[in-house]
Structure 1
Amino acid sequence: MTASIYHQLREQMDQYSTGFPATKSGVELKILEKLFTEEDAELYLDLSMLLESAENFAARTNRSPEDASAKLENMAQRGLLFRHVKNGNKRYSAIPFVVGSYEFQLGRMDEELARLTNSYMEEAFLSGMANNIPPLRTIPVGKSVDVVHQVAAYEDAKAIVNGKSKIAVANCICRTQQNLLDKGCNKPMEVCLLFGSHAEYYVENKMGRYITSEEACKILDQCEEAGLVNQPANMVNPGGMCNCCGDCCGVLRALNLLPNPGELVYNRYWAVIDQEECTGCEACLDRCQMNAITIDDTAKIDEARCIGCGLCVTTCPMDAIKLEEKPKELQVPPPASGKELMDITAEKRGTNLVPIKMQQ
């Protein structure tokens, strides 16, 4: 029973988002065994990604309403499900591994889970990103885009923040995990921004704290200074925004494995060097998280590797770098919503968002 239920759970989680592929070592099953009891796994397999009250879930699955409510709430508190609260009414849904239960282990991450997760990332998960749609997208930092360009609100980090009525901040799960393995970096930790119901979930589960839009904008300024890539969720109206480094971030680590990461990201810009102004000072080298810049007397940009973050632009002492729009045929606008992102990701991966048990 034990082996069977965790294989079923892995198969179900593999249907969602960036997937949860099997490995030769079976490390992904060890992760599931650490996070889920067998009872947790059975309940997860009966859930869908559509929010549902405990009462409806109990009636649909022939469970006791009291037991279902208690179990769903317990799993939500442990980061295994998502909980949405509106007017005092709670609803629950299944979540992917990324973005989902991995990030929601922020308050429970220990050395064992950090080690298992890192092994899994290196064996299967990171390389699988090549055939996937990134759950995060890159947008230009600060004032790296020339004012002559009309920047859409969903491409402007501060516009996104200022448009949110409820904001929370939390520590970066990737840096938290890597630091437990002595593989981390010295970049700022409290830099992950959550909005709306995601902010509520983090605060209710004691993983984050509420902040104002002014505080959030100050955090963005600190992140730019520290050389972090701004990556909101890959949709027009994101529920969260990461500020990432190439050392720790799973998405950037996955992109770095690719020969042409710039072709996979959903962005609008790439960096361009003015060869007459560039002095080859190398100030831009450390700022680039994608190894897209080389110096041969002057700086050169590998367009296929550039993800358009703008970090090189804001620290060039000669103003020799700028962001320019990619040709229209190379621009990929973000999906309108999280549901649309899930739908197109599932279509590309050939998976089904309807739970496997409900297809039988």
Structure 2
Amino acid sequence: MHHSHHLEIYEKLREKLNKAPIGLPKTVSGVEKEILSVLFDEEEASIALHMPFVRFTAEMLAEKTGKSVDYIEKILNEMVKKGTVWKGEKDGEVYYRLFPVIVGFAETPFWPGSGKDPRQEKLAPLWAKYRKEGFLDELGDRKKPIMRALPERDTISEKSEILPFEDAVKLVKERDYIAVAYCPCRVIARLVGEGCRRSLENCIHMGSVGKYMVEHGMARRITADEAIEILRKANREGLVHLTERSKHVATICNCCDDCCIFFKAIHEAKHPNTIAHSSYFASVDHSKCIACGICMLRCPMKAIRVKVNREPANVDVQKCLGCGVCVPTCPVEAIELVERDEYLELPDGMTYVRELLEDKGRDPSGLFG
């Protein structure tokens, strides 16, 4: 194999992966092709060029590539183990789909936790480099955000209505399959000698991806009550619940502003609009506030100003995500979430995908190719 051909196949794969709602943009250094070469061997890369991001069967892919079903199944199952292809079952039929970068192969090697996958050492510094060189712009430089803040239910004022799509407890309770894995962002950060001390096992995935994760040793299955407990603990710890900006929720991340790629897109790459705020904002009762400054230190958006011991907390409503991280540690219970004048409008699943593609000028037909 000549080196030039080797890079060419990974460039073709990069172009393919860049058709997804969250893509894989080209950088000057080409570090993204190094990432791909760790995750896909050349044979897998060339077959992946023919895989849709939507569900397909081994028979469909065999027909498309002119290869035997046995050969295709063998390759697919290798890729399933490596975390580059999703596998699931419906009505007795086995389905596959090519994972995009997110939710997908950026996370699969890290979900089992630090040291659980020999590729982590190689991948972590490559991802850290790729983020700086282009991936943060892919995430943040959009008119419509990928993610939205999900308020912690216990932090919403008793005077305010808990809206169904803003109610993590309800969203979790309606799902029959819930899994928890380790946060890829914090695992990567620790591997490159950065990062924070917050807990790691709180990356929640529901439905078919969650099931795939558990079946392949990347997560453990939990009950709805356990998930709710994880959310509560995360909030106390200062982590923000983030989920898809869509009516269909499959993921609830618990994010810190030091390691999370979405917060990095806000603070490092300067895309303030990366995460949509919830239908709530933090409101301070000035008659109770003792100007201790704890909420200011905890706010991941630097949306709260306090002149310590002098002036009560002031919230910049534009910047506030309405996440509720400021609420549980206020010593005098002076802060809580209240409803905004305008609720967050959420698209259905297909519209959401279309919006994400449109923002980057990508054609929806790229999902089926």
User: TM-score, length-normalised on structure 1?
Assistant: 0.92
**Aligned pairs (5 A) from 1:1-360:** 1-106=5-110, 107=112, 108=117, 109-132=119-142, 133-257=144-268, 261=272, 264-296=275-307, 297-328=311-342, 331-337=343-349, 339-355=350-366, 358=369
Change over 3 Å in CA distance of 1:230–1:4 after alignment to 2? same
Deviations 1:115-161 (A, max 9, x none): 00011112211133332344332111131111232222221111111
Following the alignment from structure 1 to structure 2, what is the Cα–Cα distance between the partners of residues 276 and 349? 47
Whether the 8 Å CA contact 2:145–2:276 is kept in 1: the answer is yes
Aligned length, in residue pairs: 355
Matched residues in 2 for 1:8 and 1:101: separation?
A: 17
**Structure 1 residues without counterparts, runs of 5 or longer:** none
SS at match of 1:217: helix
- Residue 350 (structure 1) shift: 0.5
Q: Percent identity?
A: 33
CA contact (8 A) 2:185 2:260 kept: yes
Deviation at 1:262, TM superposition (A): 5.7
**3-state DSSP class of the match of 1:103?**
coil
Q: CA deviation at 1:305?
A: 2.0
Amino acid across the alignment from 1:110: Q
Does the residue aligned with 1:17 lie in a helix, a strand or coil?
A: coil
- Counterpart CA distance in 2 for 1:120 and 1:295 is 36
Cα distance in structure 1, aligned partners of 2:368 and 2:341:
44
Are the aligned partners of 1:13 and 1:96 in contact in 2 as well (CA < 8 Å)? Answer: yes
**Residues 179, 222 of structure 2: 8 Å contact kept:** yes
Q: Which runs of 5+ in 2 are unaligned?
A: none
Amino acid at match of 2:346: P
Matched letter for residue 283 of structure 2: V
Runs of 4+, deviation exceeding 4 Å:
none
Q: Deviations over 1:225-252 (max 9, x none)?
A: 2111011233223122111111111112
CA offsets, 1:260-312, max 9 Å, x none? 73685152122233333322101102321111122222222222321110111
Tell me the amino acid that sits aligned with residue 133 of structure 2. Answer: E
- Residue identity opposite 1:181 in structure 2: V
